[in-house]
Amino acid sequence: MNLKKTVLISLVTAGLMAGSQGALAATFKMALGDAAGGTQWELGQTFKTVFEQKTGGKHKVDLFPNGQLGDEQNTVNNAALGTLDFSVLAINNVTPFSPSVGVLTLPYVIQSAEDAKKLTLGEIGKELTENTVRDAGVRIVGWAYSGFRVLTNSKKPVTNVADLKGMVIRVPKNEIMIATYQAWGINPTPMAWSETFTALQQRVVDGQDNPYITVSAMKFNEVQKYITNIRYIFSLEPLIVSESVFQEQKPDVQKAILEAGREATEHSFKYLLETEDKIRKDLVAKGMQISDAANGEKEFIDKATTTVWPKFYASIGGKDKLDKVLKSLGR
């Protein structure tokens, strides 16, 4: 056999092996936007443990926290292409790829952890999962419940909309969140998550919003002084799997993925209820000051719901979609 033919056979063999790698992979990669120790990590670790048990150790999952595999929106792209297996990311980073998911990020739609669980695990969540498969080429197989996004800043206590004037607030590159701050009278600064800590540290931006668990995990107490309890968005962080990778798996592995996702989701909800208050007290002990918004957030709520909701009826699939969500919550 001549050298040219040998090389050709080797290349073909390598290609076949690479093509079947997804179906036969012993180890899957999971990207996490947050650092180890947060809600994303807790969900990922639980999924890893359960999935490896259910596959008898034949399949494993390696976690890559803190954006090691790219920023959160990039991981959606990579999963859609089949070059990344799993990712846990903030739901607002899924909405650019599957806009109907944005119904869960409209300000003040979700008003409790129980609301969040009911929507994600019920018919609404099932429909949104189907939409992400169709629109983005990824499948939601689990949910992390991180709690309400509280506002942090390094300048002063904020208790009403007027207090925001003159502040530079970082937000994700998400139209709904940007529009919400604009409704409150300021133009926020869209910024990748991986750049946020440094921007806060260098005072390029004054503040940001994220759940208590994320504030703690990212050590924002080192660069932020003040917290305002607002409830404009309940932070949901779906666990997505590449649809092409999922379809390459044998039925027993697909079943293990779905079952591990459900168990990790249940664990995440319990974890939030058990740890959030403790984390809040810990942040106070580390020097952060917490304020409540005045009048039960009435001014924040009125400006956000009357201005922002109508702007996004079309992208979420129509006003009737929002009405369906609110009706399912008894509102």
Could you tell me the pLDDT band of residue 5, with boundaries at 50, 70 and 90? very low
Block residue for tokens 């197989």: 141
- pLDDT for residue 25: 55
- Indicate the pTM of the whole model: 0.86
Report the range of poorest mean pLDDT among 18-27, 104-113, 114-123, 209-218.
Answer: 18-27
Residue 16 lies in a domain: no
Domain total of the chain: 2
Domain co-membership, 319 together with 221: yes
AA identity, residue 252: D
Residue 18 lies in a domain: no
Read off the pLDDT of each residue in 230-253 and give the average, rounded to a whole number.
97
Q: How far apart are CA 25 and CA 197, in angstroms?
A: 35
Q: Give the whole-number percent of the chain exceeding pLDDT 70.
A: 92
Q: Give per-residue pLDDT as tens, 289-314.
A: 999 999 999 999 999 999 999 999 99
Provide the CATH number for the domain around residue 139.
Answer: 3.40.190.170
Domain co-membership, 113 together with 173: no
Domain co-membership, 211 together with 108: no
Is residue 1 scored above 60 in pLDDT?
Answer: no
- pLDDT for residue 4: 41
Domain co-membership, 297 together with 172: yes
Is residue 223 scored above 80 in pLDDT?
Answer: yes
Question: What is the residue range of 167's domain?
Answer: 150-233+282-328
Q: Are 105 and 95 in contact (CB under 8 A)?
A: yes
Domain co-membership, 197 together with 288: yes
Residues 85-96 as b/e (b if ≥16 CB within 10 A, e otherwise) read bbbbbbbbbbbb
Domain co-membership, 207 together with 242: no
Domain co-membership, 46 together with 183: no
Domain co-membership, 199 together with 82: no
Q: Give per-residue pLDDT as tens, 45-85.
A: 999 999 999 999 999 999 999 999 999 999 999 999 999 99
Q: What is the DSSP letter of 50?
A: H
- pLDDT for residue 217: 87
Domain co-membership, 303 together with 206: yes
Task: Please name which of 152, 299, 286, 295 lies closest in space to residue 229, comparing C-alpha atoms.
Answer: 152
AA identity, residue 143: W
Assign 231 to helix, strand or coil.
Answer: coil
Q: Give the whole-number percent of the chain exceeding pLDDT 90.
A: 87
Q: Are 272 and 217 in contact (CB under 8 A)?
A: no
More confident residue, 13 or 275: 275
Could you tell me the pLDDT band of residue 24, with boundaries at 50, 70 and 90? low
Domain co-membership, 68 together with 97: yes
